Structure 1
Amino acid sequence: MNSLIEKRNTFSSYDEKDVCFLLKDLSPHKLEGSIEQREQNIQSGQHYSETLPMEYQPPEHYLHVFRDTLEEYKQKVALCTGIVAEQIFYNKGKNTVLVSLARAGTPIGILIKRYILQKYQEELPHYSISIIRDRGIDENAIQHILREHPEKSIQFIDGWTGKGAISIELTKACESFREKYGVVLDDTLAVLADPGQCTNLYGTREDFLIPSACLNSTVSGLVSRTVLNPELIGPEDFHGAKYYEDLIDADVSNEYLDIVSNEFTSIKEEALEAAMNILNNHEEANFKGMDEVVKMASEFDIDSTHFVKPGVGETTRVLLRRVPWKILIKDMTSPYIRHILLLAEERNVEIVHYPEMSYTCCGLIKKVEKSQ
């Protein structure tokens, strides 16, 4: 059952003051397989949320790139955090519950929580819950939050947008929740980077490298991506996840948060000004990125847009978790792709110069043959 409410401080390496995970602990279960076999299963019809990819443990030279990237972009991440946090606080004030989408949204939600606490001395509750493409949001988790905070307004948070699949899933899930329970949820998704133009609540629309995209669980509180396997998750349960306690020596989750949080003092004024500019020049999401994805799928003879993953964050995920076919790069001199080039070389993946896109890069997933 949902034992994590009682033992949430032992489920992740984050301080329980930073976040409460509403997830069922699946740590004892073997859910990982080889990347190649998992890809075959997914392309044969198994839903990606039923299993987990093997956790990639990067070599030392890749970790150096992560640390160099963090040092180089810590202020930019802090600024984008502040811009998003200022908009959230302007719109909803202290009446907000921060609800990050596990797992990429979790460190971003913590940073937003810390920024608002530091700037406005308001400690907002922060939960991390699961949403899964084609399966929806964890309604049991939402119900729990609404019971705990009946007078507050939920603000959903993620790390970035690619082509907008999660934004679309969130809107569908909120509509379904309204139809079932008569409760209206705000489906606006707050993100640091919105290169696909999938939301109007963002820090930037530049497709820049958010350093936490470089790693998996070791920058996300040692929590796996979320799981919805009917053999393990009952109708009353939260969606599940694993805690990789064995990776604790490689964990940089709290170091990442502290390094970015230490920049908040220097960016507060600029963040407020930029946030007001976004609020005053309200631009609706137009999902422009999806048009480019459809064009790429056609050009490279790809059956489904599910196999086209645009943006720095999504391209990184393709290289870490899937079977990549090609990596499209807009500008080979971009400082945001150093880790992409390292991973592509390590996995012997073709790099294609592709200047005609608004994204910095895009990962194309290989169509795998079924094993006999």
Structure 2
Amino acid sequence: MNVHMTSRPLPNPAAVGSYRKEDVVFLLKDLSDVALEKGTEDREEAIQSGTHYSEMLPVEYQPTADYIRLFHETLEETAGKVALSAGIVAELVVKKRGFDIVLASLARAGTPIGILMKRYILQKYEVDLPHYSVSIIRGKGIDVNAIRYMHHNHPEASIQFVDGWTGKGAIRKVLIEAAVTMKEQYGIELDDDLAVLADPGWCSDTFGTREDFLIPSACLNSTVSGLMSRTVLRDDLIGPDDFHGAKYYKEWLTDDVSNVFVDKVSEYFPSVFSEAEEEAERLYNNAELTAVTWKGMQDIQRIQEDYGIADVNLIKPGVGETTRVLLRRVPWKILVDRLDNPNLKHILLLAGDKQVPVEVYPELTYSCCGLIKPLKSGEQL
């Protein structure tokens, strides 16, 4: 391993997040006292003018009573399905990697999924895997100090990265680049395999399902992600020996459903053990079923042409990403595969709430796509 790497001090994890300590450790610097939020319009303008999205935070959307009720209804309806998908991806990871691994979930959508995988493996195999939540940022890469920390504390284990779902596959590509960088610069071998609950973009070969369904944790922001903000990377706040940063919204503890989500899904694990193992075995033994084709990107290119959108980053495919567009960006319109898709109830509710037009766009790989409004003058739609 690179000598310079070992001589630098390691940061200590901050005591943040509303999850139980045994579920996850956040390898993040606490920026709770820093004013980082920008209004949606201001933030959108800044992003489209070249400011990196990781240098500021959106003002967290405070869901209406209807929307919170929808979260609970969706959780009731899909907890078993989420449990099965979490079980399948956990079983696949065990088949591929064994138990000498560290789970590293990508903050923040990956964190609840990493917790579910950890709990599934603990319940089924009585193996308690270390689990950390780490920052990865499109355009800036993975948190090197978080990798150093895990490598130092678990030198014999390999790191299994975990995320919630795939959209265009941008984060998977960042991970592939990060693995090359860590090997070249620091002599650390990383596996760029990304385990996800849902892979509607066909970007990963370690997944629980490829159906683009509503994972209840995509419904909300910090209140279903341990009360943590998105991760932040700004030179004036994050030094060379710091973890990437995030805010811990302790003031929203009374609204927090982070543990409600993982506890509810975990209750279903014993009932899906057999089915999850059988499906993982089927996927593991048939490379055609898990082939990475980046099929979703073909949708994106078609949408770009049909709507004259120059910047691919303004197209956010899949239920999870479309939810994020509606919660924290400036949406232009929502494309759906069909209006009666049961996975779209909350999308239609949010779009109606924010008066965003919804259009049927047939033959989508995904259930839906969110289109962000270009704010630069002169750009045509």
TM-score range, shorter chain: over 0.9
Which residue, 308, 327, 330 being the options, matches 2:337? Answer: 330
The residue that corresponds to 1:247 in the other structure is 252
The residue that corresponds to 1:89 in the other structure is 94
The residue that corresponds to 1:78 in the other structure is 83
Query: Is residue 53 of structure 2 the alignment partner of residue 48 of structure 1?
Result: yes
Equivalent residues in 2 for 1:109-124 (5 A)?
A: 109-124=114-129
Q: Give the SS at the match of 2:165.
A: coil
The question of whether the paired residues in 2 share the 8 Å contact of 1:35 and 1:322 is answered with yes
Q: Give the SS at the match of 1:246.
A: helix
Query: Is residue 190 of structure 2 the alignment partner of residue 185 of structure 1?
Result: yes
State the number of aligned residues: 367
The question of whether the paired residues in 2 share the 8 Å contact of 1:2 and 1:24 is answered with no
The residue that corresponds to 1:350 in the other structure is 357
The question of whether the paired residues in 2 share the 8 Å contact of 1:4 and 1:21 is answered with no
Letter in 1 for 2:316: K
The question of whether the paired residues in 1 share the 8 Å contact of 2:105 and 2:134 is answered with yes
* Structure 1: 4+ residue segments shifted above 6 A: none
Q: Give the SS at the match of 1:209.
A: coil
Letter in 1 for 2:362: P
Return the alpha-carbon distance in structure 1 between the equivalents of residues 176 and 11 of structure 2.
29
The RMSD of aligned alpha carbons is 1.2
Distance 1:68 1:2, change over 3 A: farther
The residue that corresponds to 1:281 in the other structure is 286
Return the alpha-carbon distance in structure 1 between the equivalents of residues 257 and 57 of structure 2.
21
- Residue 4 of structure 1: CA displacement? 5.3
Query: Is residue 322 of structure 2 the alignment partner of residue 315 of structure 1?
Result: yes
Q: Identify unmatched segments of 5+ residues in structure 1.
A: none
Query: Is residue 122 of structure 2 the alignment partner of residue 101 of structure 1?
Result: no
Which residue, 292, 302, 305 being the options, matches 1:295? Answer: 302
Return the alpha-carbon distance in structure 1 between the equivalents of residues 132 and 188 of structure 2.
19
Q: Give the SS at the match of 1:190.
A: strand
The question of whether the paired residues in 1 share the 8 Å contact of 2:334 and 2:358 is answered with yes
The residue that corresponds to 1:267 in the other structure is 272
Return the alpha-carbon distance in structure 2 between the equivalents of residues 64 and 337 of structure 1.
15
The question of whether the paired residues in 1 share the 8 Å contact of 2:104 and 2:161 is answered with yes
Return the alpha-carbon distance in structure 1 between the equivalents of residues 235 and 229 of structure 2.
18
The question of whether the paired residues in 1 share the 8 Å contact of 2:104 and 2:132 is answered with yes
Return the alpha-carbon distance in structure 2 between the equivalents of residues 90 and 205 of structure 1.
19
The question of whether the paired residues in 1 share the 8 Å contact of 2:10 and 2:149 is answered with no
Return the alpha-carbon distance in structure 2 between the equivalents of residues 247 and 277 of structure 1.
43
Deviations 1:109-152 (A, max 9, x none): 00000000000000000000000001000001001100000000
Return the alpha-carbon distance in structure 1 between the equivalents of residues 10 and 47 of structure 2.
27
TM-score w.r.t. length of structure 2: 0.95
The residue that corresponds to 1:205 in the other structure is 210
TM-score w.r.t. length of structure 1: 0.97
Deviations 1:167-195 (A, max 9, x none): 01100111111111122210000001001
Q: Give the SS at the match of 2:60.
A: coil
Letter in 1 for 2:218: A
Q: Give the SS at the match of 2:164.
A: coil
The residue that corresponds to 2:3 in the other structure is none
- Residue 369 of structure 1: CA displacement? 4.4
Equivalent residues in 2 for 1:14-33 (5 A)?
A: 14-33=19-38
Deviations 1:75-124 (A, max 9, x none): 00000000000011122222010000000000000000000000000000
The residue that corresponds to 1:339 in the other structure is 346
Q: Give the SS at the match of 1:203.
A: strand
Return the alpha-carbon distance in structure 2 between the equivalents of residues 332 and 4 of structure 1.
48
Return the alpha-carbon distance in structure 2 between the equivalents of residues 336 and 2 of structure 1.
43
Which residue, 302, 306, 313 being the options, matches 2:313? Answer: 306
The question of whether the paired residues in 2 share the 8 Å contact of 1:2 and 1:238 is answered with no
Return the alpha-carbon distance in structure 2 between the equivalents of residues 38 and 72 of structure 1.
35
Q: Identify unmatched segments of 5+ residues in structure 2.
A: 1-8
Distance 1:294 1:244, change over 3 A: same
The residue that corresponds to 2:134 in the other structure is 129
The residue that corresponds to 1:237 in the other structure is 242
The residue that corresponds to 1:195 in the other structure is 200
The question of whether the paired residues in 2 share the 8 Å contact of 1:4 and 1:25 is answered with no
The residue that corresponds to 1:36 in the other structure is 41
Letter in 2 for 1:137: I
Letter in 1 for 2:339: M
More moved, 268-277 vs 361-370: 361-370
Return the alpha-carbon distance in structure 1 between the equivalents of residues 17 and 145 of structure 2.
20
